[in-house]
Structure 1
């Protein structure tokens, strides 16, 4: 017997990946088409570490997708990837292998309604149920029976248990609210004030049928409301009048002091924070990045946004080994697990299956912070798009910190500050303003482990 559609705690968690049953999908997929897609997506993500969008494009190039099915395929695949840990638990509960095809079958059984041809799905689901060890599959709510608090959050919201355990230890009951909000895609547009003004940008978007809301503090940030299409297809985006950028990214850039001397942007690409810094400052900015390709893309984007500015210089350099003059301020938006970016890129969840990934990034973050602190006179703003304390609080806990310029909420255990998905309707970020010039006897970068 199939689980009834639209009921059950797991079914109601269906904002996973920001996908809702809005009735706008043009066609429903066949079961076999979906199985092939799901297997290809998992292969591309696991083998190559691709983002969801890159994995989908790679599958599309290699296997082809009927253009009339493309939107349905994209949304179905995204939902499948985002529910990975729920499906793994369902397979374990049914005595089935964690094989990609089995996980695809379980998604068809539990979550395929609305995406797949319903008659075909129901016929195939009967075969799936017979493959379970007991000859039947548990109802969705039964999958949560017998689990402790961490296990229930892990299965219901589809996150690795180790990550949920860390967040429950740091946040208590609030962890579930944050992870639920993180599953949603919070879509924001930054008005490019070098080419237009906020009101004109809003009018241009309305002409394309888009509804937006201004952020109460950063009026150049617009929240996209009720639009499921690709933002990159908008004429206003193509013209450079607005730029897709997460609110959290803008809040991080706003933590810099205004126009206080020369700024180092230590991991600059792809340039979103540098663009905001140029908007707020009159002084010079040096943007560094280890990747020549990413810097070239940043340069291209800045020109497109009308920001090919003499105040900004870009340089290929390793910010773990800086041998530059000391800058008045520095921004270090360090490479990280991107665990705060799950709503936009659900493939991150699969990368987090490896518990050691956060420790590897933390070593790099400490090396970057040591180096950039040595090159900074006054203030360093450190940030990561991560919800993990290893990449935030535990990195800066022994350094002298300044108050948040924007009054952002405290981080875990009162260390630094955080941008929370369930509070800010954004991705998850850690940010801390660090005093580079500590008082005599306090020590400096040597405080880092």
Structure 2
């Protein structure tokens, strides 16, 4: 509901509750539709490595549809806009679920086109729905409650992912056919339609709709001229690029390098989403303790650690060791996302959050999506050509990726500390003296 004037404490609390319920149900939906199941479906359809790396980049390439979210939000508000795009997102998931039908009639190229198009629309509508998400969180929280709400809501999302993943693993152990995998996607879409009802119940003020109505070109220029936000854009680009080039390819390396079955691969995904859930609940406390800037730095270092772990992986399958890259992946993915959101909300005044959110997401999302898709596809084709059924080619890929990402750590260090972090630095120096 769009209200005049600031939200009361009661309405903020009600909106926070609906936002948390939305995330809990959305976690059930996403696990049935997201990148893990998409990659398993693509592998089952015998898609080439470069195509699967492109699927992994769609999560950011879909940010091309961000401006569409602003147009709709200007008419119906932030919460209602997200609800509309969430329904469209799950309709796109049903398009993905229809891809196996074309393989059944020996039309594999058409199935691949449908899979890639459906994935783009799935992530694109998701991006359009989330365009006002950060400003909306800013509306329903204050400075004190914001880290807790972000951490709890995302934690509920990943906890639901864990529950859904356990159920999916059990179902696929009973029957792992292509049609069962397709049915899981359909069930996830139905959960997504349900989740959209709760996000539409979130209250907001007129300021978000008014902000979405305004032309944002000048505000985008102002965001770019701001040194802190410009460095945040560059840091977000590097973080997203690192995610694209490490996390989706980890599942590909597991499946094709070590010949892991779908059901066993989901157990490794369970480790990743378990780490996501744990880090989501801890991120609020960690952000308060060390600050979002250090969290971004640690998360980026963790992404390089993923490459190092794959480089050190044994030639034979060792489940305990192979769990480590997925454990790190879940931790750093959530840590980086929450830290960037926290940093953005703490450094951007409310009147600039809409323009800033759109501009930053476009640059860091689409830019990283295009770059990551091209780089990952090129390197995978070069490193795994002729030996994609062994871990050696993927280890060469991760060795090159780690070297390419290493300079980014020193570039992210240029991100200015927040005032709260500066106070902690001064306090620590005083304690040392």
Give the TM-score, by structure 2 length: 0.27
Q: Which has the higher helix share?
A: 2
- Give the number of the structure whose alpha-carbon radius of gyration is greater: 1
